[in-house]
Amino acid sequence: MCGIIGYLGDREATPILMESLKRLEYRGYDSAGVAVLEGHQRADRHTSVTKSESKVDVLIEKLQANMPTGKLGIGHTRWATHGKPTYVNAHPHTDCTNRIYVVHNGIIENFAELKKELEAAGHEFTSDTDTEVVPHLIEANYKGDFLAAVRAALKRIRGAYALAMFSTDDPELLVGARLNAPLVVGLGEHEYYVASDITAIIPYTKRVLILGEGEVAAVTPLGAEVSTLDGTTVKPKLVHVDWDVSQAQKGGFAHFMLKEIHDTPEAVANAMRGRLTDDGIVSFREFDVEDKKLKGYEEVLLLGMGTSRHAAMVGEFLIEDWAGIPARAQDASEFRYRRPTFGPKTLAVVLTQSGETADTLVGLHRAKERGALTVAVTNVFASSAARDADGAIYLHAGPEIGVASTKTLTAHMVSLGLLSLRLATVNGRVSLERRRELVTALRALPDQVRELIDREKEIAKIAHRYSRYRNFMYFGRGLGYPVALEGALKLKEISYVHAEGTTGGELKHGPIALLDKEFPVVAICTASPTKDKMVSNVHEIVARNAPVLALITKGDRSLDDVAMDVFEMPAVEEVASAILNTVMLQLFAYHVAIKLGQDVDQPRNLAKSVTVE
């Protein structure tokens, strides 16, 4: 998400901060800023803060016009999550005394209650960000020991953070901390770096300390000491990186697409952060609708294009199944030309990763004209969809650079699962016991996705065998149907191999005519109410000599000696299974495309955001 750089050493900090922020631009951002500690004597010591509410180049122009001098500083590129992309909301943020300076990547789940507590104690806030509670919370705990105050403050924080901080009282101390967000410490010659990304520091050092969860790094001219929040010293992992800048931007992966698939566990976790209680109560900060009002909507309309439409189909299934409300997923480009049959009793959900998809925006405007309540499910804060809708559900997946959507799709699916659970709860359709079951299933997802990704070599081996085929059929039932459509879409997007998706029931009504020994089928056969029907379909396909790759639930033996290949998936809730199956098929498509020598990050004829009809 956001980019972080901190520096302490013998050289001037400002040029290093500027160069590092330029290298972090690839992550995507909306504003930038730096804070540099100036002055050697306590009497003249002060911090120079420079911000830009646009690009790093604008920030650099400001800095070059009035260059701060100092050996300690922090810098930041912001991907907005709380508060619009404005100068005031840009990082770094400070406390009431202007002694403590902080940059932050992540989401602080309990910032609202902390802010209320701090305001009651007399603290004054200037921004709309969740980050600003951090310097104020440190200030509230500060009794002359900055590091102790940081530890005490962080013990109060829930959520995800990567932080770089300093105090004007400690000119030789740079502090970094992380929880559920990456942070590294670079070790140079008489100089040290704290960064969210190895990309930022790759020209300066190849020696990097990887901080663990809940660890704090105290960096001084004598080195870096890492400890827990309780002050226990730990020995961090030291790695030597041989990447160039391009490799570093991709986290050492060959392509952005692969990196972003590997980012999925974090994206799934971020989509749930601060939104889901242990008892299954869901709340959305930017879509805070009273239960009574939300209960009054009689249908849900879901609009999207491409991958977002497939996510909408998942939402349609879950809303009808869990909440008992009629729901329909629509191709936004066709919806805009249809005669409207909805009105003020409709909840219109628009799905757009970029928030700028032209056809989806037209659908949003049309829904508003008809009096529907509108909510945008999007990854980009203050995008057109987020601004124009009545509310927003942000994915918090971080920038996605690969053209083919991966982690944003899974974040969309999780977000729609949460919305479905919210609707089910207000309509009294789900018991406390069932809500707790769903909470357990959703919270287990990040680790389950991580375990699946760890099987990448196994998936790649299968993909390489299937890469010789020029046509594919994907099929599924229930939630498996949109998964099949998305699997086919990913394959044709990045490998240029023909692929199409269909339902198991529809298979015999035409598509089966295509099948032969050179036309393989990918079957979504994981556990579901229609699994036995899927097994029957696979037998019909095999009878036509078509090779079958079946995704099955671990321990299921019903397709032994039937399908040419089976890939075992974990036994999980059906909604979790849909997400895991999707990730598996993303990796399958990726490795088919790589075997064929395609450019998976920039597939031909495609754009990341389709802003024209």
Helices (H), 319-370: 332-335, 358-369
User: How many residues are present in the chain?
Assistant: 613
Using CA atoms, how far residue 139 sits from 94, 106, 323, in Å, is: 9, 20, 46
- Quickly tell me which residue has 């529907």 as its tokens: 372
Q: Using CA atoms, how far apart are residues 368 and 374, in angstroms rounded to an integer?
A: 7
Given the residues 492, 533, 595, 608, select the one marked as catalytic: 608
Q: Is 608 a catalytic residue?
A: yes
SS3 percent helix, strand, coil of the chain, rounded to 5, is 40, 25, 40
Compute how many other C-beta atoms are within 10 angstroms of the C-beta atom of residue 506.
Answer: 14
Residues of 587-607 as b/e, b for ≥16 C-beta within 10 angstroms?
Answer: bbbbbbbbbeebebbbbeeee
Q: Where are the beta strands (DSSP E) in 309-446?
A: 327-331, 346-352, 373-378, 391-394
Question: Can you tell me the distance from the alpha carbon of 524 to that of 358, in angstroms, rounded to the nearest whole number?
Answer: 32
DSSP 240-279: E----HHHHHTTT-SSHHHHHHHTHHHHHHHHHTTTB-TT
Q: Whole-angstrom Cα distance, residue 97 to residue 56?
A: 27
Per the residue annotation, which of 2, 250, 407, 531 is the catalytic one? 2
Using CA atoms, how far apart are residues 330 and 493, in angstroms rounded to an integer?
21
Amino acid letter, 276: L
| Cβ atoms of residues 529 and 535 within 8 Å | no
Note whether 193 and 248 are within 8 A (CB): no
Q: In what order do the strands lie in the sheet with 3-9?
A: 46-52, 31-38, 72-78, 3-9, 191-195, 184-187, 207-210, 237-240
Residue-wise DSSP of 290-311: -HHHHHT--EEEEEE-THHHHH
Q: Nearest to residue 46, comparing CAs of 34, 54, 36?
A: 36
The question of whether 525 is a catalytic residue gets the answer no
Reduce the secondary structure of 32-58 to three states and give it as a string.
EEEEEEECCCHHHCEEEEEEECCCHHH
d(CA 13, CA 192): 11
Exposed / middle / buried, residue 164 (Cβ in 10 Å: 0-12, 13-18, 19+): buried
Alpha-carbon span 354 to 381, nearest angstrom: 9
What positions carry a catalytic annotation?
2, 608
